[in-house]
Structure formats: C-alpha cells, structure tokens
A and B are shown apart, each in its own frame.
Chain A
Amino acid sequence: MNTRVCDTSEQNRYTRQMMLPNWGKTAQQRLKDATVLIAGAGGLGSPNAFYLACAGVGHLKICDDDVVELSNLNRQILHTSQRIGQNKAASAQTTIAALNPYVTVTVVATQITADNVSALLEDVDVVVDCLDNLQTRLLLNRQAHRQTIPMVHGSIYGMEGRVAFINPPHTPCLQCLAGKAFDDGTFPAVGAAVGVIGSLQALEVVKYITGCGRNLTHTILAWDGFHNRFQMLTFNTKADCDVCGPRQPENAK
C-alpha cells in the first residue's frame, strides 16, 4: 500500500542504520510501511517522535489534547517557545515535517477515552505509551490487549524511569503491574532523563518493526539516573489480572 523506499535521497538518509546486519532494504521498508501510535506528545512522546521519524517510520499517529505551556519546555523538545498555546500534537507535526518529509503525521488532538480508544488503535502496528497518568495508561493497555497490539510502556519520575515491552497475549500487561496509583499529581521531570527513557522506548519500537535485536519482554527495565543504576526487574503475569489473566474468559485457550 505504501511506496517503496526507492528514492535515492530517501535511502541515503537511512544509510547508517541499513549497514546493520539483518536490516538492509527489507527492514527499512517495514519501517516505512508501519503505523505507530504515540500516545502523548510530552516529555516521553518527544524523543519517541524524533527517533521514530528519523528512523523512517512511515506513519506516526500522534495523540495529545493538551497545549504547549512554558513549563513544558524543560523537557518536551518537540515544542518551541513560539508555539506556546498550540496543540501539542499539531506542534509535533510541524517539528516532524521539518525533520523528515517522508513521514506522514496524523494529528489526534483529543483526549483518549473509552469511547475513542478502539478507533485510535485501528491499523496501528505498535503503540508507545507516553502518557502522564495511570488511568489513561490502563485504558490504553486494556484496549491494546483486546486488539492484540504491542505496547511499549515508559514512565518517569525526576531522574528515574521504567521501560517494558508488552506484547499481548504473550507477556504480562500493565494492569498486572499496577495496583493502585501511588501519586498521580504533578511529577518532577528532568529533560535528559525523559530523553533516556523515551529513547529506550523508541529503540524497542524500531527493534520490533525491523526484527533486529530482542525486545524487553517479561522484564521491567528500571533506570535510576540519580545513582546511575540499571536494574532488570522481573515482570510476571498476575493470575487474577482482569485484562490478561488466564482466568479471564476471553483469554481462555
């Protein structure tokens, strides 16, 4: 359905990644044919949008109903001082168009709700969870599980963060991990730290689409930037998870 990556200037753009073994034209074409939903165009959504666009993902659906505020600009590198007051998804589209004209950006300037989440995930190959509250994250997780769409979870607090690759029905899901919300208010955030976690998420997406490397499944990567510590925490399916648990009727084999 998409065009081939045949234009010389388009191919030249990706030379350095196409040098990797098992990448070449095939993996580059897979990226071009892919649709990725970036849920949230804030701190985590910024590095995701940048790195997925410059890697050559053909279609980015960017969803955010918020507008750019001055206090976002310490970390949300998609946006600029001139765009304060603009919708974040629309601002992201402007930034990405300047970075890579071969990428199509669909702007979704609405909040994710139970009513629109299934339409939002339609035709999406992978979703990147870049949201800023547990409730919407869990809503997205539930629907991604229903539609068997992989979701790359990322979250931050100050100078630390988490990444996990959720691949329904093969892996545990976000609901397995999250009991009740700990502190869903305004959280501290350092731009470079958000960049670390968002970049790790983008790499998980790229690995999944190209087939190069191995995804971070059944594990939560916990990064503590305060003390320079990476930990691989076990991540198990909760038997009574009401999204992916084996006791749910729709998950019965």
Chain B
Amino acid sequence: MRCRVNLASPLWKYSGNQAEFEIEGDTVRQVLSRLEEEAPGMKDILTGPLRDAIRIYLNNDDIEMLEKMDTAIKAGDELYISPVLTGG
C-alpha cells in the first residue's frame, strides 16, 4: 500500500531536507525501513539513538496505542513522525 510520510521540521536535516515522502509498505515497519533506505540520514531517528525522542502517528493516532511497528497500512494512510518540541 502506498503511504504518505510527513516529517516534522526538526527532522528535515536528517532526511536531506525533504518534508514528505510517498512510500509503499504493508506495515509501519516496512514503510519505515524503506524510508531509511531512501533517506539514510534518518537511521539515527528510526532505529538509532534518537528513537526514544520521537513519536510516530498513523492518521493522527500514536502507533504505541495501535499495533506499534506491526500496524497495517491502508492505501491513503498518513504517517507523521515528530519529536517533542522544546523551544519557546
């Protein structure tokens, strides 16, 4: 299934300055692993030391409340990846 992935702006410096991706995958895990292939700079965030600093939302729901990385993707779904913002 084709899924849109939107990145919050603090992540752009890891994604080669790209804010939006269109990625095929059946689960969140598959989509994120293909995202890492397309944007290798995202490795620290998706599977590396910064993983605990971000949250992943599928259609605005935190995937921790769904099936986490095994959550199934439907056509037209949107993943949103964001750290907690701390600036004020």
A-side residues, CB < 8 A to B, are: 40, 42-45, 129-134, 137, 154-162, 177-184, 187-189, 194, 222, 224, 226-227, 231-236
6 interchain residue pairs of minimum CB distance: A182-B83, A187-B87, A155-B85, A182-B53, A179-B52, A132-B88
Contact of B54 among A42, A129, A182, A226 (CB under 8 A): A182
Contact with A along B37-53 (1 / 0, CB 8 A): 00000000000001011
**A155-B82 in contact (CB<8A):** no
A162: B residues at CB distance < 8 A: 84-85
Interface membership of B8, Cβ < 8 A = yes
**A45-B62 in contact (CB<8A):** no
**B84-A182 in contact (CB<8A):** yes
Question: In this complex, what residue of A is CB-closest to B11?
Answer: A182
23 contacts between A and B (CB under 8 A): A42-B88, A132-B88, A133-B86, A137-B86, A154-B88, A155-B85, A156-B85, A157-B87, A160-B8, A162-B84, A177-B55, A178-B84, A179-B54, A180-B52, A181-B53, A181-B86, A182-B50, A182-B54, A183-B10, A187-B10, A231-B80, A234-B57, A235-B62
A188 CA to B12 CA, complexed, in Å: 13
Contact with A along B14-58 (1 / 0, CB 8 A): 000001000000000000000000000000000000101111010
**A182-B10 in contact (CB<8A):** yes
Distance in Å from the Cβ of A217 to the closest Cβ of chain B? 15
Distance in Å from the Cβ of B18 to the closest Cβ of chain A? 12
**B9-A224 in contact (CB<8A):** yes
**B86-A184 in contact (CB<8A):** yes
B83: A residues at CB distance < 8 A: 182-183
B19: A residues at CB distance < 8 A: 226-227
A161 CA to B87 CA, complexed, in Å: 9
**A43-B88 in contact (CB<8A):** yes
A231: B residues at CB distance < 8 A: 57, 60, 80
Interface membership of B61, Cβ < 8 A = yes
Question: In this complex, what residue of A is CB-closest to B50?
Answer: A182
Distance in Å from the Cβ of A229 to the closest Cβ of chain B? 8
A134: B residues at CB distance < 8 A: 84, 86
Known interface pairs A224-B9, A231-B60, A234-B57; A155-B52 also in contact (CB < 8 Å)? no
Distance in Å from the Cβ of B57 to the closest Cβ of chain A? 6
A137: B residues at CB distance < 8 A: 86
Question: In this complex, what residue of A is CB-closest to B55?
Answer: A177
Sample of 9 further A-B pairs with CB below 8 A, known A189-B87, A232-B60, A234-B60: A40-B88, A158-B10, A160-B85, A179-B53, A194-B88, A222-B82, A226-B9, A233-B80, A234-B61
